[in-house]
Structure 1
Amino acid sequence: MPIINSQAFIADYWQKKPCVIRNFIPNFSDPIDEHELAGLAQLEEIDARLMSQKNGRWTVTQGPIDDFEPLCVNDWTLLVQGVDRYIDDIDALFRHVDFLPTWRTDDVMVSYSVKNAGVGAHIDEYDVFIVQGKGKRQWQVGLPGTFETDIPHPLLRLIKGFTPIIDVELSSGDAIYIPPFHPHSGITIEDSLNYSLGFRAPNTIELLSGLADECIANDKGDGKNASISSTCRLSHLLNTRYSDPDIHKKRHNNPQGEVSFEEIDALKSHLKTLIDAKEATPMLMRFLSLQALPSEEIVELSVIELEQLLVLGNAIRKTSGVKPIYLQKDKEEKEDFNFYIDGHSFQVDASVGSLFRELFETSMLVISKDDIHLIRNNQEAKQTLLQLINLGFYYIDNE
């Protein structure tokens, strides 16, 4: 699928320097138009905003947006986050960068902008591929540095200019890759649709708080499919208090108000015990799998209905935006296969691990007779598949 040389891209550009990728998606056809995008921006659960500016004066309106007419004036842009969670063909854009790990992918923001519109020069802290849809846009990208902050509106954080090392016009199907902390700005030449494939990069605080939140959820019994043994072990680690029975060895007659280097090291070691615990790994995996997927009303299937649908030769399809993750496969894989979706953890027998992996690495899986036999005779696999469907992560395609 990717038209770029993945090894060369990783070696030369990924998190290093920006680049233009001509014909990134050959014969690209927009999977959405501006009217459908506006429809999404009207929904309560959608993160959307409409920005416009004239002579340096900015207005920003947060969604949901009920009336566009008074807002679509001057040089305006509509931006909608997480569109990949609603439209399969937009979710499929990540396949063009499938050499990058799933857990790093965030979402696809789609924007529609009129001629001369832009969102101002700014800096992002994450990687992004911006794919040009219909229309044309001029992009400038610079190198990381120290820039004067410009806040022309309470909801905008821009910079006051940079020296571009890339100054290029993109047409439909072209893309530009921008690493973190590289200043950039785009100006629309012709009314345009753009697709920004964003990549998550949790900072240290987010990782620590995410791990702590998952551990606390398990400790309270709120964990989604958490094992009892992991819960008990993590509860013990979370509630183990710092102790220093040999305090004299750490202090060496230090003044009372002074904290010794040995005490600081002991406190760090106390934290490290939790981070290094084997039981912390599934908690971290659950945190990395969080996606904030939209909630939908699901008509739940029974086990019998599932078996009947599978026998009819139907395919299993992944719901838009669903991004399962799992740990690297052991050489022999004798243990159960664990995987994670949007904060949920699942476990199946190793004998059906390959089947579930195949399900995760494709948008649609046609179930063979052998697969049906395998699922029907493995109660755990059958119940897990049913759970994935009834949670709305997958569905049976009977067309």
Structure 2
Amino acid sequence: MSNKLTIDWDDFLTNYWQKKPVILRDAFSNFIDPISPEELAGLAMEEEIESRIVTNKNGIWDANYGPFIDYSHLGEENWSLLVQAVDHWHKQAATLVEPFKCIPQWQFEDLMISYATQGAGVGPHIDNYDVFIIQGKGCRRWQVGDRNPNYKQFSAHKALLHVEDYLPIIDEEITAGDILYIPIGFPHNGVSIGESLSYSVGFRTQTSQELLSGFADYVIDNLPNGIFYQDPDLKLPSDPYRIQPYELEKLKGQMIDLIKNPALFNDWFGKHITMPMHELNIIPVDPAYDLDEFEEILQSGAELYRVPSIRIVKIDDTAYINGNKIPLPMETIDLLCESEVLYYEQLQDEQTLNVMLEFVNLGYWYFDEE
């Protein structure tokens, strides 16, 4: 099963990306749902998979977090099941992410899937990320407002942050194969017409505050010798209680120099940004393969599969995966990025075999036993 996406990416990036919302009609022609509502409900029964049920009964909002064992009490209207990071756990659903891999992958978060009954939704809200909402089975009516920093938000429930009324700039229904793109900061509300499935491909970046905090932790751990302020040309000030402007500039300069140090910043960012935002389906090998056993399995024709949506990025001549540096030449790293399946003929040199042995034992790649 493979759904083909048709988007003029140059036009889209020029006119819409992080600028304004748009409905892309029939972006997936003859769309086929890669997952059934029953399969989605089954995933929501698993402890390690993030899920929630949102209800709006008689105007009262409620939200509960999984895992869920039973759905029979919910009725046939006004409830939604939302499951995060389905691309980590369901191979066919993960194929929906493939067409969006032309967008910088360090910004990709996950594929969230929503099953909704008649009248269901999560209420009017604002997301802190960009999202492509692919309509699958059924139909939804979407109302999207303009971006405005003065919107008031309020808690309709302790787990639901809603936004006050807004004037829609989009008020339309979307059906199977349509995509609604919503940039960060635009209020929106989707209501299901009958039963429906929606697939949200999300792109999220961290705030500068979060990044600064993460980098500070890395510097503390990786620079054991502290950098102290020093002023060997000190002159006695007229007011010793006043911090001088040059002193403030010097302090800021010392801190900025840490950020401008590529050996520090690039290594931190590569490790930091490849850590998963959601639980991954990673199962370390136990007992671990030794090199001879690993090579023998590969030589027998076994194929190596990369764990779906594990994060890989390249920075200069180095690459990172799941918080680890990949000690391989860029030619081989390109192969690891671009190939979902690897074969022995691609991995024969000693360095590559040893590195891949480590990654397979960690659970980043695995042998398909089907």
Shift, 1:312, TM fit = 2.9
- 1:23 pairs, out of 9, 16, 26, with 26
Match of 2:106 in 1: 103
Q: Quote the Cα distance in structure 2 between the aligned partners of 1:67 and 1:397.
A: 32
- CA 1:136–1:74: 2 relative to 1, 3 Å: closer
Q: Which residue of 2 aligns with 1:222?
A: none
In structure 1, what is the Cα distance between the partners aligned to 2:74 and 2:217?
Answer: 40
- Are residues 1:193 and 2:197 paired? yes
Is 1:339 aligned to 2:319, yes or no? Answer: yes
Does residue 391 of structure 1 match 2:343? Answer: no
CA distance in 2, matches of 1:110, 1:72: 20
How far apart are residue 179 of structure 1 and its match? 0.3
* Structure 2: distance between partners of 1:47 and 1:186: 21
Identity of aligned residues (%): 35
Letter aligned with residue 251 of structure 2: L
1:104-127 deviations in Å (ceiling 9; x for gaps): 101111111001111111101110
Please give the root-mean-square deviation of Cα atoms over the aligned residues, in Å: 2.1
User: TM-score with structure 2 length normalisation?
Assistant: 0.91
TM-score (normalizing by structure 1)? 0.85
Q: Does 1:274 align with 2:258?
A: yes
State the secondary structure of the residue aligned to 2:72.
coil
Instruction: Quote the residue 2:244 is aligned against.
Output: 260
Q: Which amino acid aligns with 1:94?
A: V
Deviations 1:344-376 (A, max 9, x none): 22212x3xx3233122123223454xx3xxx43
Query: Superposition pairs for residues 105-254 of structure 1, below 5 Å?
Result: 105-145=108-148, 146-216=150-220, 219=221, 231=222, 234-236=223-225, 239-248=226-235, 252-254=237-239
Segments of 5+ residues of structure 1 without an aligned counterpart are: 220-230, 329-336
**Pairing 1:287-306 to 2, within 5 Å after superposition:** 287-291=272-276, 292=278, 293-299=280-286, 300-306=288-294
Matching residue of 2:269: 284
Q: Assess if the C-alpha contact under 8 Å between 1:115 and 1:190 holds in 2.
A: yes
**1:323 Cα deviation after fit:** 2.4
1:140 is matched by which residue type in structure 2? Answer: Q
Cα distance in 2 for partners of 1:264, 1:298 equals 52
Aligned residue pairs: how many? 362
1:207: Cα distance to partner? 0.8
Question: 1:288 deviation in Å?
Answer: 0.9
Q: How far is 1:341 from its partner?
A: 1.5
| CA drift at 1:27 | 2.3
Alignment check: 8 A CA contact 2:51 2:81 kept: yes
Tell me the alpha carbon deviations over residues 167-217 of structure 1, each in whole angstroms, 9 at most, x when there is no partner. 22111121111001011110101211111111121111111122223344x
Structure 2 residue 339 is matched with structure 1 residue 362: yes
* Residues 316-335 of structure 1 mapped to structure 2, 5 A cutoff: 316-328=304-316
1:26, distance to aligned residue in structure 2 (A): 2.4
Q: CA deviation at 1:71?
A: 4.3
